[in-house]
A and B are shown apart, each in its own frame.
Chain A
Amino acid sequence: MDNREKVVVIRDLYKAFGDLEVLKGVDMDLYREENLVVLGRSGTGKSVLIKIMVGLLQQDSGSMEVFGKEISRLGIRELNEMRLKIGFSFQNSALYDSMTVRENMEFPLVRNIKNLTKKEISLRIEELLDAVGLPQTINQMPSELSGGQKKRIGVARTLVLNPEIMLYDEPTAGLDPITCVDINNLINEVRERYKTTSIVITHDLSCAKQTGDRMAVLLEGQFGALGTFEEVFPHAEDQRIKSFYDYNFINS
């Protein structure tokens, strides 16, 4: 019996886009301060899963409970309150390209936390930019940043609201191996420093190994395996998981 607090409970979750069934009965628990990595090939519905969690998409059936509340039954006000507890780091960072880094970080802060003074806002932004190692970029536009820097700023922007859960959508996609390691370290640092619970969506096994406490492999709409990296991968019997491992580690 696991006594750890469950912050996310997913049961029998289904989602289809037209005739294409993406999620076919997903079950999953996420425990407080755990880093869970969801792996799978492109188009298997990994991102769909976390988009349902923040209400960007709605499931067709099944339940998605976050902090004991069913997301699909929340009204817009309650959903927005829930969203403040969940940070979402997008695959392409999704920085607002007409705003500077400072304005990008101010944007969610001033709209959701009232009565903050300008000084408090500046301090919060500077603290987070320090935490992601990019204090010098504060007045730069997103177009002036590299891919890795954008990812870091994207993470910093989600952290301004002190989320309890961090969702990382393909955090290392399109980055060079050294920057990937930096981003993986950042994910671990965020967990340690801000005590967050995280879901990392990736198809990069190095990222998964470095950041995850548990791995969940999404195969044909369901989790084909769930456990630590050592439990799931090196001696996998399922040919699909085995080939996933082989392509990532042996072929590279």
Chain B
Amino acid sequence: MAGQSGTRKHVFSKKIDDFFKGLADAWKFVKRFFQEVFVPPYEFKEVIHQCYRIGVESLPLISLTGFIVGIVFTNQSRPSLSEFGATSWLPSLIAIAIVRAMGPLVTALIAAGKVGSGIGAEIGSMKVTEQIDAMEVSATNPYKFLVVTRVLATTFMIPVLVMYTDFVALMGAFINVNANELVSISTFFAQVFSSVTFLDIFSSIIKSLFFGFTIGMVGCYKGYNSSKGTEGVGRAANAAVVVSMFLIFIEELLSLQIINLFRMK
């Protein structure tokens, strides 16, 4: 009995130990990014290549999702507003919801699924097939070539994708509003822009930068530290998505608190 509880205690303390070791490893990995990003040589060509892969190749999925989110959100909001005879507020309500929260969140979650898992799997597979070691022995810094470039690309491209998602979602919303309330595009967008403030757009871009950084960094970290074997690659891709999504929600909550402080001023 005493032996069993001792073993359980040992397992528990080992888990705590591993957790903190993992945190320390992750911190070192993030710190290394800031140490290496400003030091030459700069891999501009690879950053552009990754921006293309992350940005352009995500467009079809982002477009479809953004458009549907716009239509569905408008449709679901209408009954509540019509109870008060306030359907004319639909464009304002939708614009605020999309620009402040839904655009960044939907884009980041989709990117975590598509881009984050891709990065985790790609780097994980390079790790288990010794391609990262091959870079290192040919006197090339694999962290700089693989991690710094991908993290920069996600950090730059997620805000761009967020802006694009906002636009596409608003277009979806407009189609729905136009079909039901017969509002013209100029009236719709006039109402949108009158209700969205500079702080809304600025805060949306800033938090998207953090979302992008998180997606890139988590994907690279999980891939770079994947254990040997194909199973490890799958686990890395999966963990990249789960951890990114978890962190994105936490960042969203934190950003909400911080932005509210600015609004109260």
Alpha-carbon distance between A157 and B130 when the two chains are bound, in angstroms: 14
Pick the contact of B139 from A56, A84, A157 — CB < 8 Å? Answer: A84
A54 touches B137 (CB 8 A): yes
Smallest CB-CB separation from A81: which chain B residue?
B139
Q: Does A144 contact B (CB under 8 A)?
A: no
Residues of A within 8 A of B133 (CB): 51, 56, 88, 90, 94
Alpha-carbon distance between A214 and B129 when the two chains are bound, in angstroms: 30
Alpha-carbon distance between A231 and B125 when the two chains are bound, in angstroms: 42
Q: Does B140 contact A (CB under 8 A)?
A: yes
Pick the contact of A83 from B41, B126, B137 — CB < 8 Å? Answer: B137
Smallest CB-CB separation from B132: which chain A residue?
A94
Binds B, one of A5-13, A16-24, A104-112, A171-179: A104-112
Chain A, residues 130-171, CB within 8 Å of chain B (1/0): the string is 000000000000000000000000000110010000000000
Closest-CB distance, B163 to chain A (whole angstroms)? 29
Alpha-carbon distance between A84 and B140 when the two chains are bound, in angstroms: 10
Closest-CB distance, B181 to chain A (whole angstroms)? 50
- Interface size counted on chain B using CB atoms at 8 A: 15
A94 touches B134 (CB 8 A): yes
A108 touches B140 (CB 8 A): yes
Alpha-carbon distance between A111 and B129 when the two chains are bound, in angstroms: 22
B131 touches A111 (CB 8 A): no
Residues of B within 8 A of A111 (CB): 41, 138-140
Q: Does A101 contact B (CB under 8 A)?
A: no
Residues of B within 8 A of A95 (CB): 131, 134
Q: Does A30 contact B (CB under 8 A)?
A: no
Closest-CB distance, A40 to chain B (whole angstroms)? 20
Q: How many A-B residue pairs have CB under 8 A?
A: 58
Pick the contact of B131 from A83, A84, A88, A94 — CB < 8 Å? Answer: A94
Q: Does B136 contact A (CB under 8 A)?
A: yes
Closest-CB distance, B69 to chain A (whole angstroms)? 33
Q: Does A245 contact B (CB under 8 A)?
A: no
A96 touches B131 (CB 8 A): yes
Residues of B within 8 A of A83 (CB): 136-139
A107 touches B138 (CB 8 A): yes
Q: Does A80 contact B (CB under 8 A)?
A: yes
Pick the contact of B130 from A92, A98, A108, A112 — CB < 8 Å? Answer: A92
Q: Does A86 contact B (CB under 8 A)?
A: yes
Q: Does A237 contact B (CB under 8 A)?
A: no
Alpha-carbon distance between A78 and B140 when the two chains are bound, in angstroms: 13
A88-B134, A111-B41 are contacts. A94–B139 as well, Cβ < 8 Å? no
Q: Does A120 contact B (CB under 8 A)?
A: no
Pick the contact of B138 from A55, A97, A98, A108 — CB < 8 Å? Answer: A108
Residues of A within 8 A of B138 (CB): 83, 107-108, 111-112, 157-158, 161
Chain B, residues 131-157, CB within 8 Å of chain A (1/0): the string is 101111111100000000000000000
Alpha-carbon distance between A158 and B125 when the two chains are bound, in angstroms: 21
Smallest CB-CB separation from A57: which chain B residue?
B133
Closest-CB distance, A85 to chain B (whole angstroms)? 10
Alpha-carbon distance between A98 and B146 when the two chains are bound, in angstroms: 12
Residues of A within 8 A of B135 (CB): 96, 107
B129 touches A88 (CB 8 A): no
Chain A, residues 161-203, CB within 8 Å of chain B (1/0): the string is 1000000000000000000000000000000000000000000
Smallest CB-CB separation from A79: which chain B residue?
B139
Chain B, residues 99-138, CB within 8 Å of chain A (1/0): the string is 0000000000000000000000010011001110111111
B140 touches A107 (CB 8 A): yes
Alpha-carbon distance between A108 and B149 when the two chains are bound, in angstroms: 17
Pick the contact of A80 from B41, B130, B139 — CB < 8 Å? Answer: B139
Residues of A within 8 A of B136 (CB): 54-56, 83
Closest-CB distance, B179 to chain A (whole angstroms)? 45
CB under 8 Å from chain B, chain A span 105-123: 107-108, 111-112
By a beta-carbon cutoff of 8 Å, the part of chain B in contact with chain A is 41, 122, 125-126, 129-131, 133-140
Ordered by A's residue number, 10 sampled pairs between the chains whose C-beta atoms are within 8 Å are A55-B137, A56-B133, A81-B139, A88-B134, A90-B134, A95-B134, A108-B138, A111-B140, A112-B139, A161-B138
